[in-house]
Each structure stands twice: as structure tokens, then as C-alpha cells.
Amino acid sequence: MSTAASSFAKPIAGELYLAGRQQASDAPMSAVVARRVVQRRQMHAVQAVSYLLGASTLLVYSYAGTISIVIPSVYFLCGLTAIGFFSVLSETNVSDRFEDHYLTVFQVGAHVAIQLGFLLAAPKIGFAFICVLFLIFGFGALRMTSRQATTTWTLAIIGLVPVFLFSDLPVGMPVGTQTERLAAMLCFVLIIGQCAFVGLFGSTLRKMLYRRSIELKEAYKRIEELAELDELTGASNRRCIMRMLDEEIGRARRTGASCSIALIDLDWFKRVNDAHGHPTGDEVLRTFAITMFANIRPIDRFGRYGGEEFLLILPDAPPHSACRMLERLRAIIADLDWSAFSPGMRVTISAGVATLRADDNPDAFLARADSALYTAKAQGRNRIASA
């Protein structure tokens, strides 16, 4: 027998979709509320159809003379009344004040109360209403917490105990006539269909959750990458490159390998910004970073130290090798056709190279490279100096 229970599937799917959308985008709160209202409208529409189908099945029992025609009519009106009440709460955005904006526990409670009421009013076909309780809890449990499920289960028990233990109501399933047998068959057909839907919905949920977990992992990985990258150049940002420096110093001390670093500065970069504009300056920085990435080793680490100053970490590079690498990079940068950005433009770099000593900490290591960079600038720029 179809009831409002089947409507609980759609809200859950909508909620999962909404949660994923909220984590993946910065949608305004008004848009989130609007989506929730639409989803609740869909849920209420499904509930109304469910009660209509249920009332239609009861009409068959009424036609067979088993129950009064009043039962299916009042059943449908009670369902519409409950739906209307929650619709008003939805349309006035009262529902959005609650963490569970679908008010699942209250809806489950309302629909369970309707089934118990009609179990008392028409005990001859009580099996139909009892079967519906299983469906209501089956769907509702997909949204409820364990505490909420326990609460609603307890309330249902309180309603069922008097019916079965403190009364002699003839709760039954009449199949005495062919029409009654047809009505009973229709009840079971609808219930079995809803059970099948629960199974399909559960499978869909698992797939949806799996896809969502994959998407969230990829998004989290991307966020981590973005958090460690300089937005303009794509190089590691200062926090990331300093962490890499600490790691490389630790590795060099453990293995006894050489480790060199180079502080690199774009010569007269302020003049580039002043003469050609900051957009051109940004393009120069991006081109410089791309060129560096294309010409360093896979094991090297490159990051923006600040402004137009960059840090290059060179693992397993003794002093002479590090200086040779930097001289090659200096020549590559100087030979680029910078006039493509602006006629007559020329960009060069200066660098200070330092090799790790036994007593160096990161600050001392960087200070020696910075001192060498200062020397390169003092000697006329466009050159490499070693600490």
C-alpha cells in the first residue's frame, strides 16, 4: 500500500546532492534555501501521490463492502492535511531553522499516527496499515540519527501495545471474496514495489556516496595543492618552499649528501613594473617561473620566496655543481626574447648560492645565500655569486 513513506527517499538524495554542491561551490545562502524549498515541494508532491494510491486501494475494499466509503476519503484528507501543514512550514522557511530541515522525525511521527489511527478505525484491514509502518520506518531511518530512530520507534511501540495487548480488535486481512482478494493483492503489490524501490535507492545511495567521496578526495587534494602554490607563478609559495627546505636539510644530514640552495632575484624588476605596467610584470614573473621549471632537475624544488625573489633547492649538489647549474639557468633567462612583451625589454637574474654546512640551521643557510645574492648585485647583477 503506497503512503507518504515513499517520499522520504527523494529528500535524502536531494540532501546529499545539496551537501556536495555546498562543499564544491560558494553558492549564496539564499540559493541554498531556494533549492531546499524546491526539494521539499517535490517531497510533498510524492507524499500526496502516495496517499492517493493508498486511498485508491482502500476504495476497492469499500467497493467490496469490507469498509465504509468514509475510510478511504478521510484517509486521503488526513494525509493531505499533514502534507499541507509541513508545506506551510516549508514555504514560510520555518523548516530551515532546524538542522534537519525536512523535519523527518515529525513527519515520520505524523504519518505513523495516521496509520495507527486508521488501524483502530478499520481493524478488519489492519494488515495494510501495519505493513505501511515498516515502509515509513524503512525510509525514515535513512535520514534519522540513532537517537531519533529510537525515539520514533518507542512512540510507535506505545501506539501498538494498546492495540494488540489491551484490546480485542480483530486486526485482519479479509480475503473472503474475489474483490477482497484483489484489494489484498494490490496492497502487497504496492508494498513489494516500495520495498524494491528501497533496495534500488540504497544501491543508488552507495554509488552516490562513493562518487562523492572520490570527488571530495580530489577536491581536498586540489585544495592542498593550491594552498601550497603561489597563485601568480604556480611555484611553491613561501610556506611550502620553507617546509621543503627543512625536509631537505634533514635528509642531507641523515644521508650525508650535499645540499645547495640559490636565492634568485630578477634584476631591476621594479623598473619593469614602472616602465611597462604591473600586468606585464606579472607575465614576466610567470614566464620566468615556467622557464625555471622547464630547466631544473626533477629532484630540485623551486618556490617564490617573496616579490621577485625565488628560492631554488638543489639536493645532491656540491658547490661547483650548484654554481654551474645556476650559471646555465642565468644564461637561459638572459637569452629569452623578452621583447615579445615589450620592445627593447631585457630581463636578467642574479643569484646567491650556498651549500649546507654541518652547523647550519635553515635561517643561517638562507642568510649565507642572501649574502651571496647581495654580492652578485653589488658586482653589477646578471651574475652568480657563491657564499
Q: Which residues are catalytic?
A: 308
Which residues, at least 6 apart from 269, have a Cβ–Cβ distance to it below 8 Å?
281, 284, 307, 308
Q: Are 10 and 42 in contact (CB under 8 A)?
A: yes
Q: Give the whole-angstrom CA distance, residue 68 versus residue 62.
A: 6
Backbone phi and psi for residue 268, each to the nearest 5 degrees, phi listed first: 50, 40
- Three-state SS annotation for 1-51: CCCHHHHHHHHHHHHHHHHHHHHHCCCCHHHHHHHHHHHHHHHHHHHHHHH
Q: Give the whole-angstrom CA distance, residue 308 versus residue 285.
A: 7
Q: Are 62 and 20 in contact (CB under 8 A)?
A: no
Q: Give the whole-angstrom CA distance, residue 351 versus residue 188.
A: 82
SS3 230: coil
Measured in Å, how far apart are the chain's first and last C-alpha atoms?
Answer: 85
Enumerate long-range contacts of 14-18, CB under 8 Å, 24 or more apart. Answer: 14/39, 14/42, 14/43, 15/39, 15/102, 15/143, 16/205, 16/208, 16/209, 16/212, 17/208
Q: Which helix (H) or strand (E) holds 368?
A: helix 362-378
Name 303's bridge partners: 236, 311
Q: Which helix (H) or strand (E) holds 305?
A: strand 301-306
Hey, what's the torsion of the CAs at 233, 234, 240, 244, to 10 degrees?
Answer: -100
Q: How many CA atoms lie within 13 A of 175 on its CB side?
A: 10
Which residues, at least 6 apart from 359, have a Cβ–Cβ distance to it below 8 Å?
none
